[in-house]
A and B are shown apart, each in its own frame.
Chain A
Amino acid sequence: MRLQLSPEMEAFRDEMRTFFTTQVPKEIRDQVAARRHVSREQYIEAQRALNAAGLAVPHWPVEWGGRDWTPLQRHIWREEMQLASVPEPLAFNTSMIGPVIAAFGNQEQKERFLAKTANLDIWWCQGFSEPDAGSDLASLRTTAVRDGDDWVVNGQKTWTTLGQHADWIFCLVRTDPTAEKKQRGISMLVFPMDTPGVTLRPIQLIDGGHEVNEVFFEDVRVPAENLVGEENRGWDYAKFLLGNERVGIARVGATKKLIAQAKEFAREITAGGRPLSEDPRTLARIAELENELLALELTALRVVANSADGKPHPASSVLKLRGSELQQAATELIVDIAGPLSLASFADGGSAVPDWARVATPEYLNYRKVSIYGGSNEVQRTIIAGTILGL
């Protein structure tokens, strides 16, 4: 049992902190700190800065740019990045398709895609969910039928995040409709978003933003070489992908940053003749949230330390479940601090409402997603009850 970081880890933490706060452009970090949408160009610029320093894909195999770090180093890397308001490397690239290609792709695919994926030269999007396949992903119906050297894809995907920026999509398709288990007839295909027959349609969200899309496929011809891994083994790759980097999903650093901001915002608001930062009820609420977050961070550290051979600890479901709840609680706290100012969501010039209060409610509404994506919290409870408690 040891509380403190070793001198080497202290030095590592300093190195990360220095890099993130000096080598990623300040305008981009300010945009993240202001909780405003980051543009495609800004994402790319930030990820390239990280990649040039070997900090975009440290969890990949060393051969393809990984760093062979300990779980603690990865925790520190992520935490410092979030505290410095650095946009995280695009998850679709670095946590999803990259590791899948590195683990299951052929040599040609690795050489073709991995370096460009790490550097965000290719922007990937995810073609998993469908209108009738949400939490029950294996019931997906988009088909791919072999025709000569091509697969012909027909169907529809949805919730495709930032698909409007994407160059390529990685897609789960049904290649064997006769398979006895529905999981066994699924394959993974990758193809450019500008392939004829691909149509993207934006979905407007309650926060007023455009973040997710529907994607339609009509006789989309995909070369056979774009199959990742083996035919009809796509479900295994999807599970690998979704289980990858569970630890990061707690997003402790990001929530910590939100709470620190909430404290600052509370100083700006006067209630009952004194700053909200002196209101006992507000302070107690912050204290409770902060303590829950501490417990989550410590649990993340326990879980990473006990993750044997890269397999996620069963308790990692706790991180997703609680991590999403605390992110939501932090955004809710900020809306409540903003109070009536939170109504000025779409105010432009000529409004006296501070920017943080304008974005508060859209972000709170947007963050309802975090307990839904990546395996909804109900799915996580099912995993805990079944896998851990044996119920």
Chain B
Amino acid sequence: MDFTYDSEQNDLREAVRGLLQRAYPDTERRRSVVGSDPGFDEKTWAQLAEMGVLGLPFAEEDGGMGAGPIEVGIVAEEMGRVLAPEPFVEAVVLAGGLVAAVGTAAQRTAVLGPLSEGGSVLAFAHAEPATRWSPSASAVTATQDGDGWRLTGVKEPVANGARADVLVVSAAVDGGTALFLVQGDAAGLTRTGYRTHDGGRAANVTLDGTPAELLGEGTADRSADVERVQALARIAHANESVGAMESALRITAEYLKTRKQFGVTLNRFQALTFRAADMYVSVELARSTALWASMVADAGGDVVAAGDRARLQTSRAGRHVGKEAIQLHGGIGVTAEYSVGHYTSRLTAIDHVLGDGDWAADRLAASVDSYPTVDPLGAPYTG
């Protein structure tokens, strides 16, 4: 087992960090970007494309870079560190990942090429208002119409659903859940976008006999594919959370060293420094799990179980670090002008997109009595 990055991976981190630091040098700049639609910076998106980041996990023949979950984790962590609002995990890892996993060769070329080049934003329209964190669709249904398909029903909330050029939509068919491509300008498609608390954008996507293209061949149930790609997104989110938590802790520690009350800096109060020490423990344990889950995905192990483990650890850690970061600051921590509360908001959002800690714990609990011990050195981890 080896936790060190190779030189190419270090170079990737340096490059992404440099780009994002120039794009988001301070809180004010980020606030101004997320203050207007589409909630991220199109220019930064184009620069990420130029660097190859938006095609990172896709095969070269599909227009991507042929990299893997370790590289995805590096980018996600750097995004988290500065709270970059560009939808890397949502558009590339999740929506793009589904096209890569399920799409035909022609679909992969047609969709992933433009995504990688920055010319097309993808969104995965999957969540339905009355359910949560299911790998299957029920409220949106698909019916065959000649050679094509038509979708009807409501998807919400759909991250970047209003801005997306192409939507990957899950829908119930006879055999289970199928995936479809819907163009942003399709007839019968109504999208109502709004801001999310973390500065992002989501939308109500209402489909009314909307023409759609079946993703991949046949209508066999795609729930397992959704499950697997969502697990990859959970692992990417875990890495993003680690970057965000590390920044929240660093900002908090700096504040404790400079803010004075009762005539002394706050780091003179053990009641505060001990809590900061506990935050450090949470961050480091979460980092270990996020890195390991990325390695499991990279080695072809049980990505769903590893995703659940990463989700559980970073959910608990994210809540702990996010809440304490604000409390140790005091009132300034809840102001929009100051950075730290935005980290808490983002961590809170990540916690609810693809399953929270309790949800992950319940899933792990279902199999906990079927093996004696967890063996991370086993080759490869098999859940």
The A contact surface, by secondary structure, is: helix
Cβ of B42 within 8 Å of any chain A Cβ, yes or no, is no
Judge whether A33 is part of the interface by a CB distance below 8 angstroms.
no
What's the Cα separation between A284 and B367 when bound, in Å? 10
| B residues contacting the other copy or chain, number (CB 8 A) | 53
Chain A residues near B257: list those with CB within 8 A: 390-391
Residue B130 at the chain A interface, CB threshold 8 Å: no
The answer to whether B1 touches A291, judged by C-beta atoms less than 8 angstroms apart, is no
User: In the assembled complex, how far is the CB of residue B162 from the closest CB belonging to chain A, in whole angstroms?
Assistant: 37
Report A1-45 residues with CB < 8 Å from chain B CB: 1-5, 10, 13
B1 and A3 contact, CB distance less than 8 A: yes
Whether the Cβ atoms of A298 and B291 lie closer than 8 Å is yes
Q: Are B298 and A3 in contact (CB under 8 A)?
A: yes
**A391: which B residues are within 8 A, CB to CB?**
253, 256-257, 267, 273, 276
Q: Which of A263, A278, A295 has the most CB of B within 10 A?
A: A295
CB nearest to B358 among chain A residues: A284
Complex interface bits, A319-339 against B, C-beta within 8 A gives 1, otherwise 0:
001100000000000000000
Q: Which of B86-94, B182-190, B213-221, B375-383 contacts A (4 or more CB under 8 A)?
A: B375-383
B285 touches A318 (CB 8 A): yes
Interface membership of A286, Cβ < 8 A: yes
A183 CB, min distance to chain B CBs, angstroms: 22
Give the distance in Å from the alpha carbon of A292 to the alpha carbon of B376 in the complex.
Answer: 13
**Whole-angstrom distance between the alpha carbons of A268 and B173 in the complex?**
45
Q: Within B249-281, which residues are at the interface with A (CB < 8 Å)?
A: 249, 253, 256-257, 267, 270, 273-274, 276-278, 280-281
Chain B residues with CB below 8 A from A382, complex form = 270, 273-274, 277
Contact partner, B376, options A280, A283, A286, A297, Cβ 8 Å = A297
User: Smallest distance from the beta carbon of A386 to chain B beta carbons, Å?
Assistant: 8
* A381:B278 contact, CB within 8 angstroms: yes
With beta carbons under 8 angstroms apart, the residue of B4, B256, B288, B301 that contacts A298 is B288
Are A13 and B376 in contact, CB atoms less than 8 angstroms apart? Answer: no
Which residues of the other chain, A, contact B140 by a CB distance below 8 angstroms?
none
Find residues 7-25 in chain B having any chain A CB closer than 8 Å to their own CB: 9
What is the distance, in angstroms, from A205's C-beta to the closest C-beta of chain B? 28
Query: Given A1-B70, A283-B368, are A389 and B277 also a contact pair (CB < 8 Å)?
Result: yes
Chain B positions within 8 Å of A296 at CB level: 285, 288
Would B2 and A2 count as touching, CB distance under 8 A? Answer: yes
| Cβ-defined contact, B277 with A381, below 8 A | yes
B312 within 8 A of A: yes
Inter-chain CA distance A287–B274, complex, in Å, is 27
Q: Which listed residue, A277, A302, A318, touches B3 by the CB 8 Å rule?
A: A302
Asked whether any CB of chain B lies closer than 8 Å to the CB of A238, the reply is no
Residues of B with C-beta under 8 A to A293: 374
Q: Is the CB of B288 within 8 A of A295?
A: yes
Rounded to whole angstroms, the CA-CA distance of A3 and B293 in the bound complex is 9
Does any Cβ of A come within 8 Å of B309's Cβ? yes
Q: Is B131 an interface residue (CB 8 A)?
A: no
Is B289's CB under 8 angstroms from A294's CB? yes
| A315-B284, A391-B256 known, 15 other contacts, Cβ within 8 Å | A1-B291, A1-B298, A83-B373, A256-B374, A263-B369, A266-B369, A280-B365, A283-B369, A284-B361, A291-B364, A295-B285, A299-B285, A305-B3, A305-B4, A384-B281
Can you identify 8 A-B contacts, CB atoms within 8 angstroms? A3-B295, A256-B373, A294-B309, A294-B376, A318-B285, A384-B281, A390-B253, A391-B257
